[in-house]
């Protein structure tokens, strides 16, 4: 007579194989359907639309967006990989978009600020990001009304990203819990 535990173990192994097959099929379908549209670098026209929209909404001409990565704790991280999880800096190092921008190879866009025509976009960022021309950081200790106004407007625009991510976290629990 077969051992019930062995039968259960075989059943679970088959179930896991079927689950992994279904997950692979799902991922292949998502990539096949959405890959050409979303899993690529934006072209110049898309970048220009983003810049125009941010100019209207936030009054930051030339702003491509705001960057802020979420720190995600990996609860069961293997000891050998400790400290190697993705954070702002190593996500940036692997980003073709930012690497292209820093080499001056990003999409050419048009924007006017203070009467000067610019052909490159920028991102609003906080203090952790490197001092690259593509990042405009907030003024930590603004002096005078102009700097105070700029810092307040920039923080307001950056908060939009955090609020949007907060909505995603409220809808998708996996984003707010340690993995």
Give the pLDDT confidence of 75-105 residue by residue, as tens digits. Answer: 666 566 665 655 666 667 767 667 777 777 7
Q: Is residue 22 pLDDT above 70, yes or no?
A: yes
**Same structural domain for residues 73 and 89?**
yes
- Judgement on whether residues 139 and 52 belong to the same structural domain of the protein: yes
Same domain, 87 and 170: yes
92 with 156, same domain: the answer is: yes
- Same domain, yes or no: 24 and 110: no
Instruction: Tell me, yes or no, whether 19 and 86 share the same domain.
Output: no
Structural domain total, the chain: 2
pLDDT above 50: residue 179: no
Q: Tokens 């898309």, residue?
A: 46
Closest by alpha carbon to 151, among 134, 136, 138?
Answer: 138
Does one domain contain both 114 and 62? yes
- Model confidence over 136-151: pLDDT tens digits? 888 889 999 999 998 8
Domain range for 99: 42-175
Radius of gyration of the chain (CA): 22
Same domain for 23 and 55?
A: no
Q: Look at residue 50 in the predicted model and tell me its pLDDT.
A: 85
What's the CA gap between 93 and 11, in Å, rounded?
Answer: 43
Cβ-Cβ contacts under 8 Å for 65 (sequence gap 6 or more): 50, 54, 123, 124, 161
Residues 16-23: contacts with CB within 8 Å, 24+ apart? none
pLDDT of residue 140: 84
Three-class DSSP category at 124:
strand
């Amino acid at each position: 007579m077969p051992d019930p535990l062995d039968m259960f173990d075989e059943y679970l192994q088959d179930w896991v194989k079927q689950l992994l097959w279904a997950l692979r099929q799902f991922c292949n379908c998502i990539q096949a359907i959405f890959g050409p549209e979303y899993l690529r670098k934006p072209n110049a026209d898309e970048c220009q639309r983003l810049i125009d929209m941010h100019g209207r909404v936030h009054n930051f001409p030339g702003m491509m967006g705001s960057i802020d990565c979420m720190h995600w704790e990996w609860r069961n991280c293997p000891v050998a990989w400790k400290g190697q999880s993705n954070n702002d800096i190593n996500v940036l190092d692997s980003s073709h978009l930012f690497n292209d921008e820093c080499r001056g190879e990003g999409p050419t866009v048009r924007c006017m600020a203070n009467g000067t025509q610019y052909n490159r976009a920028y991102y609003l960022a906080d203090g952790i990001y490197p001092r690259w021309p593509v990042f405009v950081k907030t003024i930590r200790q603004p002096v005078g009304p102009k700097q105070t106004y700029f810092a307040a407007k920039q923080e307001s625009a950056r908060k939009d990203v955090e609020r949007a991510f907060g909505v995603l976290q409220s809808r998708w629990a996996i984003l707010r819990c340690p993995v």
